[in-house]
């Protein structure tokens, strides 16, 4: 990449305006005119340069606004997509947690039921053993 490609449009515009101002001033200084005419010409060229600089600044400002608007839209789109993905992931995790909760509750109930049955069987066996001794 060359040096000219690396510089921004604002820098290029600034250098152009500085060069134009220096060139116009030198041309006026070496032109065969009276002092009054020369001062008037310098004032005119200065006003034109200021007008051109103002117009360039407005153009750069307009372009910057367009770029900002485009970037804002892209960022908003990316944010919306990310927000949707996070929302979908949160829903999936909530569903998974609900299923896990139901499975754990079912396992606990099955354990309680098995405990009750074993306790009942143990009670029947010890009750039968006590009756057989008597």
41, burial (CB in 10 Å: exposed 0-12, middle 13-18, buried 19+): middle
pTM score: 0.40
Report the alpha-carbon angle 91-93-99, nearest 5.
105
Question: Binning pLDDT at 50, 70 and 90, where does residue 3 land?
Answer: low
Q: What is the pLDDT of residue 127?
A: 57
| Residues 58, 10: Cα–Cα separation, whole Å | 11
Helix or strand (DSSP H, E) at 119? helix 35-133
| CA end-to-end span of the chain | 107
The answer on pLDDT for 79 being more than 50 is yes
Q: What are the pLDDT digits (tens) for 9-37? A: 888 888 888 888 888 778 777 777 777 88
Share of the chain above pLDDT 90, in %: 3
């Amino acid at each position: 990449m060359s040096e000219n490609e690396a510089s921004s449009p604002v820098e290029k515009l600034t250098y152009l305006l500085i060069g134009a101002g220096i060139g116009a001033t030198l041309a006026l200084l070496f032109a065969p005119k009276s002092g009054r005419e020369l001062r008037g010409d310098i004032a005119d060229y200065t006003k034109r340069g200021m007008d051109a600089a103002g117009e360039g600044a407005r153009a750069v400002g307009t372009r910057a606004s367009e770029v900002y608007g485009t970037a804002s839209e892209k960022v908003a789109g990316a944010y919306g997509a990310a927000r949707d993905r996070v929302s979908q992931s949160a829903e999936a995790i909530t569903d998974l947690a609900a299923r896990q909760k139901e499975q754990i509750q079912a396992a606990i109930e099955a354990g309680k039921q098995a405990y009750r049955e074993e306790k009942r069987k143990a009670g029947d066996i010890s009750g039968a053993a006590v009756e057989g001794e008597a």
